[in-house]
């Protein structure tokens, strides 16, 4: 080897060694980095990798049923037969849709919607084609699956109200979760999840909802589920038992189906509400998937207000049904006795104002029982003035008027149980004698709900016990009601008056008395003016109800109970703008009470056998 070559080799060897050293250095940097990532920080990256691949899917719980006192379904869930299509599993989406069209009608628009959706979303995600299919159609699709590549029959759950409008106001309805109802609970964010929007569905939502389960799944980068890793099943919502008797509820609702009315039926001893109807009604099933604008507008614009639960939210002057309160206030105060009479000459003068009795001929000399039975206004104008508003107010309070019972359904109204303090507070003006006169016949400031009136009569006929209304039958059944402290003697007087309303030939509801020979019914009619009758009208002619526009007609009321021999059930009927309490409300009350009592006897007979 010549010197030049030797030099070159020497130089090369030196330089190559340096290069090699450099390469080794860089390689050790790689190894160091690997160690840092895979050993030092391994746990952190493992978590991130799991976060990538593991997805928690919530499993929606089954919503609890709502049943009546005998376990009959009021709100439940039904299987919703659906058909979806998974674009990626079809040979040609349009072809599949065409074949599917033989079994399920697919409109032009539907077809377009599906094709559009298929373009937008990932091809392994199902697109819904049809909902709420009947079993026949659904099974046809299932049988023909081999000819329908990509079609996926699916079963979902829908809330179902078998009685439709019958119990609608009570149970309410469910709907999709709205933006402002989101509270961080991921369950609410499930696309198909429904929550209670009204009625018991809303007030008991937590109990009915149940708790979500979850399924841990492994997903790929596109979100496709590869496999399930673990699963915790959801817990169904609890079944809620109502005190409602569906038979009675149905009967009552049907009885008033053609009018705008509320019927409340109660067990006077337990406070169990057996029926709580309000008509007209709506079909809660319509709300499941969002009610159509057309239906919604129709419901909202109906002057009979089908969306309002009149039984608890409607506030009405109690009218003559209030006379028992006035009578009891006077009796308890010792202002009047059963024998004492007053003279009704059809008019009564208070200051410069002249007020009238409904009977233009006047009732003549009558005592308190007759005054109740014949519903004499003049008697109670006078009596009210004698006893004063504060005592009346105090008596109303004992009977639950002006009280919100919080029975657990929405928008229970409070009504107005007025006195001087109330008037000063709300109007800034002292209570006047004229106000007392108005209150004496349940007009003026007094305002009550059908539920309150039903509680009132219950407390009168159950021996003066402060029974509380209840809608849930799992509430403590043994709770004893307190005595409201009315003397038995005075209660008897009131009961006699109410008995006579139906059963005395001069009673206001005599023509609508019980047709059953085995028992009698009692109660009190009420007719409340919606519009004040002017002096001019009185001088010419008072328009008959059917001559006035519906909205100006009188409300017809009736509070009743039965059987008179051994009171067990009470009722309150209000027919909005229905005319007279005796002509319109008392026959309804009679029919419902008869149904309730007959049913009860039948059931008792069965249990004995």
The residue ranges that bind other proteins (CB under 8 A) are: 1-2, 4-5, 7-9, 11-13, 15-16, 18-20, 23, 26-27, 29-31, 33-35, 37-39, 41-42, 44-46, 48-50, 52-53, 218-222, 226
- Given the complex with other proteins, which of 11 and 551 has the nearer CB atom? 11
| Min dist. Cβ of residue 22 to other proteins (A) | 9
| Min dist. Cβ of residue 28 to other proteins (A) | 10
- Given the complex with other proteins, which of 5 and 258 has the nearer CB atom? 5
| Min dist. Cβ of residue 277 to other proteins (A) | 57
- Given the complex with other proteins, which of 34 and 551 has the nearer CB atom? 34
For residue 184, give both structure tokens: 């961080």
Angle at alpha carbon of residue 338, lines to 449 and 392, rounded to 5°: 35
Inter-residue contact 275 to 244 (CB < 8 Å): yes
Inter-residue contact 501 to 372 (CB < 8 Å): yes
| Min dist. Cβ of residue 182 to other proteins (A) | 25
Quote the CA–CA distance of 534 and 276 in Å, as a whole number. 36
| Min dist. Cβ of residue 53 to other proteins (A) | 5
- Given the complex with other proteins, which of 53 and 57 has the nearer CB atom? 53
Angle at alpha carbon of residue 391, lines to 386 and 396, rounded to 5°: 125
| Min dist. Cβ of residue 221 to other proteins (A) | 4
| Min dist. Cβ of residue 126 to other proteins (A) | 21
- Given the complex with other proteins, which of 216 and 414 has the nearer CB atom? 216
Inter-residue contact 521 to 371 (CB < 8 Å): no
Q: What are the E-state strand segments in 151-192? A: 151-160, 173-176
Quote the CA–CA distance of 85 and 64 in Å, as a whole number. 30
Q: In 3D, which of 302, 278, 305, 299 has the Cα closest to residue 287?
A: 299
- Given the complex with other proteins, which of 19 and 56 has the nearer CB atom? 19
- Given the complex with other proteins, which of 47 and 354 has the nearer CB atom? 47
Quote the CA–CA distance of 9 and 405 in Å, as a whole number. 107
DSSP string computed for 436-477: HHHHHTT-TT-BB-HHHHHHHHHHHHTTSB----BSBTTS-T
| Min dist. Cβ of residue 92 to other proteins (A) | 25
Q: In 3D, which of 441, 400, 395 has the Cα closest to residue 419?
A: 395
Q: Is 260 helix (H, G, I), strand (E, B) or coil?
A: coil
Inter-residue contact 558 to 528 (CB < 8 Å): no
Residue 577 falls in which region: left (phi positive, over 0), alpha (psi -120 to 50) or beta: left
- Given the complex with other proteins, which of 27 and 487 has the nearer CB atom? 27
Inter-residue contact 161 to 188 (CB < 8 Å): no
Inter-residue contact 552 to 571 (CB < 8 Å): no
Q: In 3D, which of 558, 551, 597 has the Cα closest to residue 576?
A: 551
| Min dist. Cβ of residue 86 to other proteins (A) | 20
- Given the complex with other proteins, which of 31 and 536 has the nearer CB atom? 31
């Amino acid at each position: 080897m010549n010197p030049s070559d030797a030099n070159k080799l020497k130089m090369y060897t030196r330089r190559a060694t340096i290069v090699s050293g450099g390469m080794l250095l860089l390689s050790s940097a790689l190894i160091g980095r690997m160690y840092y990532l895979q050993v030092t920080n391994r746990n952190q990256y493992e978590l991130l990798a799991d976060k990538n691949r593991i997805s928690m899917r919530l499993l929606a719980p089954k919503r609890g049923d709502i049943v009546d006192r005998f376990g009959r379904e009021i709100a439940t869930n039904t299987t919703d037969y659906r058909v979806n299509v998974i674009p990626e599993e079809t040979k040609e989406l349009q072809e599949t849709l065409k074949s599917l069209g033989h079994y399920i009608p697919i409109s032009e628009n539907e077809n377009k919607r599906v094709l559009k959706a298929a373009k937008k979303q990932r091809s392994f995600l199902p697109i819904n084609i049809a909902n709420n299919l009947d079993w026949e159609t659904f099974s046809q699709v299932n049988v023909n699956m081999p000819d329908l590549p990509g079609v996926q029959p699916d079963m979902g759950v829908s809330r179902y109200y078998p009685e439709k409008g019958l119990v609608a106001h009570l149970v309410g309805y469910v709907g999709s979760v709205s933006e402002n109802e989101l509270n961080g609970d991921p369950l609410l964010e499930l696309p198909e999840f429904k929550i209670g929007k009204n009625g018991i569905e809303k007030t008991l939502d937590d109990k009915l909802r149940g708790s979500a389960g979850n399924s841990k799944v492994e997903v790929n980068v596109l979100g496709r589920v590869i496999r399930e890793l673990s699963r915790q099943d959801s817990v169904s919502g609890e079944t809620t038992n109502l005190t409602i008797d569906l038979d009675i509820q149905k009967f009552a609702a049907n009885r008033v189906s053609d009018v705008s009315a509320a019927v409340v039926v109660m067990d006077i001893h337990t406070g169990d509400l057996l029926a709580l109807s309000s008509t007209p009604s709506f079909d809660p099933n319509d709300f499941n998937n969002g009610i159509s604008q057309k239906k919604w507008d129709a419901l909202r614009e109906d002057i009979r207000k089908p969306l309002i639960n009149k039984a608890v939210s409607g506030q009405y002057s109690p009218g003559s049904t209030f006379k028992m309160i006035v009578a009891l206030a006077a009796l308890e105060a010792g202002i009047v006795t059963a024998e004492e009479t007053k003279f009704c000459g059809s008019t009564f003068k208070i200051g410069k104002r002249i007020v009238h009795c409904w009977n233009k001929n006047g009732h003549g000399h009558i005592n308190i029982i007759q005054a109740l039975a014949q519903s004499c206004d003049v008697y109670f104008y006078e009596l009210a003035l004698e006893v004063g508003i504060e005592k009346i107010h105090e008596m109303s309070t004992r009977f639950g008027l002006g009280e919100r019972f919080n029975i657990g359904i929405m928008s229970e109204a409070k009504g107005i149980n007025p006195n001087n303090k109330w008037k000063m507070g709300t109007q800034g003006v002292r209570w006047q004698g004229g106000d007392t006169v108005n209150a004496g016949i349940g007009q003026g400031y007094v305002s009550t709900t059908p539920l309150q009136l039903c509680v009132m009569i219950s407390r009168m006929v159950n021996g003066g016990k402060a029974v509380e209304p209840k809608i849930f039958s799992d509430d403590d059944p043994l709770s004893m009601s307190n005595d409201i402290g009315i003397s038995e003697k005075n209660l008897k007087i009131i009961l006699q008056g109410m008995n006579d309303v139906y059963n005395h030939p001069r009673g206001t509801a005599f023509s609508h008395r019980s047709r059953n020979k085995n028992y009698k019914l009692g109660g009190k009619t009420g007719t409340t003016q919606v519009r004040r009758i002017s002096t001019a009208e009185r001088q010419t002619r008072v328009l008959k109800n059917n001559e006035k526009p519906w909205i100006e007609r009188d409300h017809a009321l009736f509070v009743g109970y039965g059987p008179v021999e051994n009171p067990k059930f009470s009722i309150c009927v209000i027919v909005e703008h229905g005319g007279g309490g005796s002509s319109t409300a008392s026959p309804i009350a009679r029919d419902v009470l008869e149904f309730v009592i007959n049913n009860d006897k039948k059931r008792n007979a069965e249990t004995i056998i």
